[in-house]
Structure 1
Amino acid sequence: GSNVLRMSSGIQIKKKTAAQKSKTHSPESQPKPSDKLNPKTIDPFRAYSQPPSAFSATYARGGIPCRLVHGSVNHKLQWECPPETVPFDPLLLTLAEGLRETKHPYTFVSKEGFKELLLVEGAAEKAIPLLPRLVPVLKAALAHADDEVFGRGLDALVQLSAVVGPSLNDHLKLLLTNVS
């Protein structure tokens, strides 16, 4: 019939009908059976890209008004403006979130920045209103699996307690489970 194509060599080839053509798949559209035997593997030479944390992203775009100054022995922070003039909200909260960082320079900047901000004159008046939002962030640092992060969180809690005094008492029940 009309479905048969005759070649000059005498071979006959049947043409596919429209229904038969729709049933065929391109190799890209259907996985090969051997794909089940070849699970995807991790390329150990590929650069590992972890999404940046909120703190590292803020630091990278200049949202934290201080920078790390590398000394020959000791590091220190250089503030772009006097720390007394910096608004504690959101900076103190951002620095507290940075306490959970595990990479340099974020670990140093968050720890030193938190400490230096609490040393400014009038820090208690600026920090007390932030306690309801600051305590859960410190709790997260105290609950971290990394011992160094826990230590930074504990140091920050001691510094905060020295500054705000008895105002922290109402929030201790949230923190004591992580400290014990």
Structure 2
Amino acid sequence: MSTRTCQHFDVHQHSPRKPLNVDKECPSKAFTIRSKGERIRPPPSAGAFRENPAPPSGFRYFYDRGDFPVSILHNATIKVAWQVEIEKLDFHHYLPLFFDGLSETKHPYQFLARQGIHDMLTHGGYKVLPVIPQLILPLKKALMTKNKDIICATLKVIQDLVVSHELAGEALIPYYRQLLPVMNLFKNTNNNLGDGIEYDQWKGCNVGDMVNATLELLERRGGQDAYINIKYMVPTYESCVLTY
């Protein structure tokens, strides 16, 4: 008759609640099993405001290839010299390419894209309205970089776009879902300096103020359906037109 040997097994010896060789100097990750008294590493940042560098734009490629009828004129001030009259340009071809350059941060691409857009929106008139659907994707790409300088420049372009034609504001309403999420994110991004001076305001680059000014312009120029659509995407927005 065989004899069975009973071995004692300590269930606490290998318990996951007491990990072996715990380094007290190295904090554990949040929401993990830890020993008593061990320091906890704070959870990582969600990164909602983290910048997303954009790849080189199509604008840079076509400019380097010499496809744009523009050049930089160096006088007392730097200007864009157009080789043809702006009114004679094919806006369906050129305007989306210039908008694609909004995400550029290097010279001369950044300057040429922004100044070229300003000139075309100023002199385009009725030619701008049919091109608006082609401008939404580059506008969204520029906003999604979350670079404050690019966002401010893009918001200024949206303002110029809205006033370029009497129907441009209404034409942008179907695209609020693409344009307004980043505005909602940065709507209250203002530096509280107390009695100090926020010098970005002098340059027109205060993101929160630019967002609010853009939303108010969209409401004023967007017709009767603009406010309810803005309110849906930016819940904290208060009408600048309606009286309660």
**TM-score class normalised by the smaller sequence:** 0.5 to 0.7
Gaps of 5+ in 1: 1-50
Amino acid at match of 2:73: V
**Aligned pair in 2 of structure 1 residues 150, 86: CA closer, same or farther (>3 Å)?**
same
Match of 2:116 in 1: 113
* Paired residues, number: 127
SS of 1:67's partner is strand
Match of 2:155 in 1: 154
**Aligned pair in 2 of structure 1 residues 174, 89: CA closer, same or farther (>3 Å)?**
same
- Return the TM-score normalized by structure 1: 0.65
Once the two structures are TM-superposed, the CA of residue 64 in structure 1 deviates from its matched residue by 1.5
Structure-2 separation of matches of 1:93 and 1:59? 14
Once the two structures are TM-superposed, the CA of residue 86 in structure 1 deviates from its matched residue by 0.6
Once the two structures are TM-superposed, the CA of residue 134 in structure 1 deviates from its matched residue by 0.7
Q: How does 1:61-72 map to 2 (within 5 A)?
A: 61-72=65-76
- Return the TM-score normalized by structure 2: 0.49
Contact 2:104 2:110 survives alignment (8 Å): yes
Contact 2:142 2:154 survives alignment (8 Å): yes
Gaps of 5+ in 2: 1-54, 185-244
Match of 2:174 in 1: 170
SS of 2:93's partner is helix
Q: Quick check: which has more Rg, 1 or 2? A: 1
- RMSD between superposed Cα atoms in Å: 1.6
List, as ranges, runs of 4+ consecutive aligned residues in structure 1 with deviation greater than 6 Å: none
Structure-1 separation of matches of 2:117 and 2:176? 19
Q: How does 1:28-177 map to 2 (within 5 A)?
A: 53-72=57-76, 74-120=77-123, 123-163=124-164, 164-177=168-181
